[in-house]
Structure 1
């Protein structure tokens, strides 16, 4: 998942790394470490989809996400033939009881991970390319780890919704495209609406043809007329994935292409809104990503022992990629800034909520 190489000389990289390591740090565009660049977003632009969104970052990268919902019958219930032979009789009874328990769980609103499908399309990449599969899996991982989305897809014990989330990256990525795809998916899910059911809960589902009567997949606080007694699970929002980098002991959000080139560590943090009112967000997933500086070695280091390279050290004014892992206190600080109450994660979720 490597971005295109940055056309900066070693001296320019050294200057940039030094300025980002200062206290306080100096970013090339004079932003604070937690500030985000302006973006352009719009929702409900695909007429044939249940929900859609378009997001454009300041660096020119753009993505569109569409959500389609389909009614599907629950698979695997009542198909066990435990009476075929006497040896499997007890096992069949246990299997039937297990199916009954699963049916009861679905009636209580427990969904399955396979009800959500995510596909990513990138220009110039095959559908089975490793980067495309990795990005789709990362987004799917956050959506199912939250648990709130798949539980909203239950209609009754025998029927459920299946969501198809298609994400199209319209421009070649200048940096890691994961945050762009995640935020676009977040907005598309916020704008997703499902037809209103007109059948009883235990019957085969029938829905109202009037789209104005449809209900949002993620109801906002404005949906409930009585603000004094809001539901326990509101306001619910889809999870998001933030890209966080560290340079020295400093932590930065929404890193530019040049800042990523000198990053010591890159972290993808997936957070979700808690189901009950509390301070802070839920931590759903954390992934470390190799920064561009560690993806290839310089020609001078090829075929030489690591001890010899470390003994020589680096020249002053010439940037050299750092060796070793991430400091624990820096890692803890990067995660804490994403999930703490009033932190960056809540600020991003609140800003995206204004588009819905």
Structure 2
């Protein structure tokens, strides 16, 4: 898979496995079992895109994502009844992943892209955001680039960078009505976010795919490449935050916190390939 092999001796692997099997586990970098690696993030870094982001992990792994949108005519548009947005299609989203020293059509790279796509379309709501009218829709191109060599399994880094890029993605404000040819406001300041900002109405946020491993009886989040080498099970878990509209007059203290929706779980073997 898209990762570097960890060159550890059998004695080192045994020591690491024993340390991670303790209660609580002792991680080589001192993190708690559910603690993630420190990171730095920046959005709006690429001109000529509708949204972009860059994320760098503390181990030096870095990724950049650019999102571009174009108008596309919806084939076989029908005059159907009911909620037309329900006819939104997942193929309106195109995801490409590029990893240093790997071909774009490499099986591991394609698999990473499909896992990201599966999570993004998992709630059935994202494609509806691209619906313009019965005759037209937006097509999104999400280009994902791992800037550094794959120091560990890159899925969490690519997912988080995509998450931030989508939060920063904006589309021109629609001025036309009904099924007319789309006309948009030329003022970019009036553009609208694909995912409305804080204080907006209900809806889901972009998904995040995390790596979770088990060693002995312990569950460990965001494993390092050394921890992956001794993991007994590795899962890619995709979740998204769901926002509920607050009742009129409701107070912040009435909220029970964030509600997370499980979108998908996949068993992976990052040591293969």
Fold equivalence (TM over 0.5)? yes
Task: Give structure 2 stretches of 5+ with no counterpart.
Answer: 246-255
Partner of 1:156: 133
Task: Give structure 1 stretches of 5+ with no counterpart.
Answer: 78-98, 225-230, 297-356
CA distance in 2, matches of 1:32, 1:212: 43
The reply on whether 1:211 has 2:163 as its aligned counterpart is no
The reply on whether 1:258 has 2:231 as its aligned counterpart is no
Q: Are the aligned partners of 2:2 and 2:154 in contact in 1 as well (CA < 8 Å)?
A: no
CA distance in 2, matches of 1:167, 1:155: 25
Distance 1:2 1:120, change over 3 A: closer
Q: How far has the Cα of 1:291 moved from its partner?
A: 5.0
Partner of 1:189: 166
Structure 2 residue aligned with 1:176, among 140, 153, 156? 153
Partner of 2:206: 238
Distance 1:137 1:291, change over 3 A: closer
Partner of 1:271: 239
Task: Extract structure 1 runs of 4+ deviating beyond 3 A.
Answer: 275-280
Q: Are the aligned partners of 1:244 and 1:268 in contact in 2 as well (CA < 8 Å)?
A: yes
Matches within 5 A, 1:313-332: none
Please state whether the residue corresponding to 2:189 is helix, strand or coil.
helix
Partner of 2:118: 141
CA distance in 1, matches of 2:27, 2:100: 31
Q: Are the aligned partners of 1:146 and 1:239 in contact in 2 as well (CA < 8 Å)?
A: no
Greater C-alpha radius of gyration: 1
More helix by share: 1
Task: Please provide the CA RMSD for this pair.
Answer: 1.8
Q: How far has the Cα of 1:265 moved from its partner?
A: 0.8
Q: Are the aligned partners of 1:195 and 1:208 in contact in 2 as well (CA < 8 Å)?
A: yes
Q: How far has the Cα of 1:280 moved from its partner?
A: 3.7
Partner of 1:76: 76
Please state whether the residue corresponding to 1:281 is helix, strand or coil.
strand
Q: How far has the Cα of 1:132 moved from its partner?
A: 1.1
TM-score (norm 2): 0.91
How many residues are treated as equivalent by the alignment? Answer: 262
TM-score (norm 1): 0.70
CA distance in 1, matches of 2:38, 2:243: 29
Q: Are the aligned partners of 2:213 and 2:232 in contact in 1 as well (CA < 8 Å)?
A: yes
